[in-house]
Structures are given as C-alpha cells and as structure tokens.
C-alpha cells in the first residue's frame, strides 16, 4: 500500500511567517518520506466563516503563491483547489448519510461556537459549521490518505475521520483506509510582534511575502521591555529571541543568547533578527515576484493538479455508487 500524505491548506488571511514556520515548511519537509503528497486549497472550508467573496478569492491567490514560492514542487506532488474536484462534495454527502449526529455534537469547533449562546444554543450556527468535519473527512478519504499532518489541538479531526470511515466500511464494504495523524508540536505557537500567537485577528503578523523594507519595518515594531543597551536581558519569553530561534543554527542561537547576557541593545537585536529572517525569505520573495508576473500560471497549475487527482476521484465515486446501490437500471 502506498504511503500518502495529505495536507489541507487554510485559505483565509494574509500568509505570515507563523504560517511558514508552523505549516508550510514542516509540510514540505515531510514530503520526501511518502510515496505521494497531496496539497489542497480548502476554499469550500473558507466560506464557513467568511462570507466576503472578495476576501475569499484574494486569500486563495495569496496562499497559493506562498506555498509555491516556499518550494512546493507541483511536478512531484498533487496541488489542487478543493472546489475544482466536485467529487469531494459528492463523497461528503455520502459520508453525511452514515455519520451520527452525536459525533458532530462532540466537535470541538461546534462546542466552542455554542459555548457563549445562553438562550438559543444554535444561534449563529450554520450547517456548514456543524457538519464541516464530514467535509474534512471527504477531503482525506477521497484519496485514501494514510497520513495527515495536524496540530496537537486538531487530532479530533482525524479521530472523527477514522470513525466515519470505519462506519462506512462496516455498513457497506472495506473501501477506506483509516488515516493516521502526524502531530506537529514544534513551531505551533510562533509569537507575533506583540508576544501573543501570530494571527491576523490580533493584527500582530509579520507578512511572509513582504518586501525587504516592509519586513524590516515589521520586525522593528516588535514589543520589547525598556532595558537599555549594556543591561543584561532575559532571553526567556522574549519575542525577538524566540523568532530568532526558528531561523538560527544551534551555534548562532548560542551566540545570540550570550549577547543577551552581555546586554545587547534592542535595536541591534532586531537588526540581527531581520538579517537572519531575510536571508531565508529572500529566495522565497524572489520566487513570489517571478510567479506573480504570470497571471495565468497559478490557475494553470491548480487546473493541472485537479485534472490529475480527478482521475482517482472519479474511480472512487464509481466504486462508492456501486457500493451504496446507485447505478444504472438493468
């Protein structure tokens, strides 16, 4: 059996270095350990929480550029847009029909969304939000992915997918492999410029695809304490030091830590952070500028990826229809 890894890519917001360190870089590094790698832009998932059609469209473009610029190789992987593979939605409906409502009731996202509702438990809850774990299961099971990288707070998604797959296999016939989670614990909480988790909602991001000048300006805004140059500084719980650690070698980090003890000034510390971040992001920036010049390239790459995976998707749907009794009248 082929080892297949599938990565769902959130298509909301401006790509930032938190996305790069926590999702893009680790996912691309995992590819060499598997026979086949699938990466998809989860644009149908995006409309669960975002009804601004302009933002949804722009985010898909920016996120696609971020992954391609960071090294996603479309010649050796499958890269496609969820909405370009309609078979996924058909599978989602089939899975809905074997999924217990009680399982959806236990979804962390659903419970979190209803937690503050006092008079009406379901106020503001759409069926998209309630049943999105089924669509997520369809994304994974359509290609019988064997492994899915997730954060430590997202393992429930894989557990639910396994439950849904096992139930279908039990009712009809063995069709789906039960996927395993690859839990990514490193780089999960990349700090933003205010020290909190880097997030667009906090307004504290350092954009991944910014110019060199914009990158330096963003790093200069990192909040620090009022210690003067020459005064020893604690590197623990320091945003500048923490961000530096994600890009530095062991020797570079040890040297930087020693400079903290010697009282490095905040301006110098931020300049060192800028230099090491910029060194890694510079080739990504150049690739982004090159890709951005070709207006049709992204659409062509995504269409090509969808065409490739739809061969497998169509075969899966034909098999599923036969299993559930939907077929030509004989």
Q: What is the mean pLDDT of residues 317-325?
A: 96
Q: What's the pTM? A: 0.92
pLDDT at 257 over 60: yes
8 A C-beta contact, residue 309 and residue 80: yes
Residue 147 has pLDDT above 60, yes or no: yes
Contact predicate 306/43, CB 8 Å: no
Measured over the CA atoms of residue 52, residue 58, residue 64 and residue 66, the dihedral's sign is negative
Does the domain formed by 210-290 have CATH 1.10.240.10?
yes
- Give exposure, 107-140, as e/b (b: 16+ Cβ within 10 Å): bebbeebbeeeeeeeeeeeeeebbbbbbbbbbbb
Beta bridge partners of 125: none
Task: Determine the average pLDDT of the residues in 35-41.
Answer: 97
Name 207's bridge partners. 16
| E strand segments, the chain | 4-9, 36-41, 78-81, 147-151, 180-184
N-to-C CA span, the chain: 34
Convert the pLDDT of each residue in 83-109 to its tens digit: 999 999 999 999 999 999 999 999 998
Written out in words, the top-level CATH class of the domain with range 4-190+295-324 is alpha beta
Q: Which residues belong to CATH 1.10.240.10 in the chain?
A: 210-290
User: Is the pLDDT reported for residue 14 higher than 90?
Assistant: no
User: Which segments of the chain belong to CATH 3.40.50.620?
Assistant: 4-190+295-324
- Is residue 187 pLDDT above 60, yes or no? no
Mean per-residue pLDDT over the chain, rounded: 94
């Amino acid at each position: 059996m082929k080892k297949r890894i599938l990565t769902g890519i959130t298509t909301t917001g401006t790509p930032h270095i938190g996305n790069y360190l926590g999702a893009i870089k680790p996912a691309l590094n995992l590819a060499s350990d598997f026979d086949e790698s699938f990466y998809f832009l989860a644009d149908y998932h995006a409309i669960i929480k975002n009804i601004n059609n302009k933002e949804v469209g722009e985010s898909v473009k920016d996120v696609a550029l971020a992954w391609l610029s960071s090294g996603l190789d479309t010649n050796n992987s499958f890269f496609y847009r969820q909405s370009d593979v309609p078979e996924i939605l058909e599978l989602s409906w089939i899975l809905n029909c074997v999924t217990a409502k009680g399982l959806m009731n236990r979804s962390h996202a659903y419970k979190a969304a209803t937690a503050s509702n006092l008079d009406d438990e379901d106020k503001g809850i759409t069926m998209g939000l309630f049943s999105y774990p089924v669509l997520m299961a369809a994304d994974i099971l359509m290609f019988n992915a064997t492994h899915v990288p997730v954060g430590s707070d997202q393992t429930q998604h894989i557990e639910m997918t396994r439950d849904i797959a096992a139930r279908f296999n039990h009712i009809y016939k063995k069709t789906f492999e039960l996927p395993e989670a690859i839990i990514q614990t490193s780089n999960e909480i990349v700090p933003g410029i205010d020290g909190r988790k880097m997030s667009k909602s906090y307004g504290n991001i350092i954009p991944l695809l910014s110019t060199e000048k914009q990158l330096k300006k963003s790093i200069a805004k990192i909040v620090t304490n009022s210690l003067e140059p020459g005064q020893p500084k604690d590197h623990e719980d320091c945003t500048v030091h923490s961000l530096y650690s994600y890009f530095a070698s062991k020797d570079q980090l040890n040297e930087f830590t020693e400079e903290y003890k010697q009282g490095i000034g905040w301006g110098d510390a931020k300049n060192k952070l800028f230099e090491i971040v910029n060194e890694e992001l510079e080739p990504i920036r150049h690739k982004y500028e090159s890709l951005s010049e070709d207006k049709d390239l992204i659409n062509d790459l995504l269409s090509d990826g969808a065409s490739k995976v739809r061969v497998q998707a169509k075969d899966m749907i034909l098999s599923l229809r036969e299993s559930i009794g939907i077929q030509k009248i004989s």
